Structure 1
Amino acid sequence: MNTVLILLSDSFADWEAAYICPELNKLEDYEIKTVSLTKDPVATMGGLKVIPDYDISNIPNDINIKLLIIPGGLSWHNTDYDKYCDIIKYCLENNILTAAICNGVTFLANHGFLDNRRHTGNTVEYLKQNAPEYKGETEYVDSQSFIFENLITANGSAAVEFSRDILQKLDIYSQKEIDEWFKIFKIGYL
Structure 2
Amino acid sequence: MVFITDGFADWEASYVTAELNKQGTGFQVQTMAIDKHPKTSMGGLTVLPDYSLKDFPFKLDFAMLIMPGGTGWREEKNHQVKKLVSFCFEHNIPVAAICDATAFLGNYGFLDQNKHTGNSLPYLKEGAPNYRGDENYIEKQSVSDGCLITANGSGALEFSKDILNKLNVLKSKELEEWYALFKNGFIKITGEHIEK
Q: Same fold, TM exceeding 0.5?
A: yes
- Indicate yes or no: 2:15 matched with 1:25: no
Partner of 2:35: 38
Partner of 1:136: 133
- Indicate yes or no: 2:108 matched with 1:111: yes
Partner of 1:97: 94
Give the TM-score taking structure 2 as reference length: 0.91
Partner of 2:193: none
Point out the structure with the larger strand share.
1
Q: Max radius of gyration: which structure?
A: 2
Q: Cα deviations across residues 118-148 of structure 1 (Å, max 9, x unaligned)?
A: 1100010101111111111111111110011
- The count of aligned residue pairs is 186
Structure 2 CA distance for aligned equivalents of residues 126 and 173 of structure 1: 32
The residue type paired with residue 9 of structure 2 is: A
CA contact (8 A) 2:73 2:79 kept: no
Q: Percent identity?
A: 44
**SS of 2:73's equivalent?**
coil
The residue type paired with residue 79 of structure 2 is: D
Structure 2 CA distance for aligned equivalents of residues 124 and 103 of structure 1: 12
- Indicate yes or no: 2:177 matched with 1:180: yes
1:62 shift after superposition: 4.2
Partner of 1:67: 64
**SS of 2:28's equivalent?**
strand
The residue type paired with residue 38 of structure 1 is: D
Structure 1 unaligned segments of length 5 or more: list them. Answer: none
1:93 shift after superposition: 2.0
Cα RMSD (Å): 1.2
Structure 2 CA distance for aligned equivalents of residues 62 and 95 of structure 1: 14
Partner of 1:152: 149
Give the TM-score taking structure 1 as reference length: 0.94
1:60 shift after superposition: 3.0
Partner of 2:79: 82
Structure 1 CA distance for aligned equivalents of residues 175 and 122 of structure 2: 32
The residue type paired with residue 114 of structure 1 is: L
Match of 1:166 among 152, 163, 166: 163
The residue type paired with residue 117 of structure 1 is: N
1:84 shift after superposition: 0.3
1:169 shift after superposition: 0.9
Structure 2 CA distance for aligned equivalents of residues 182 and 8 of structure 1: 25
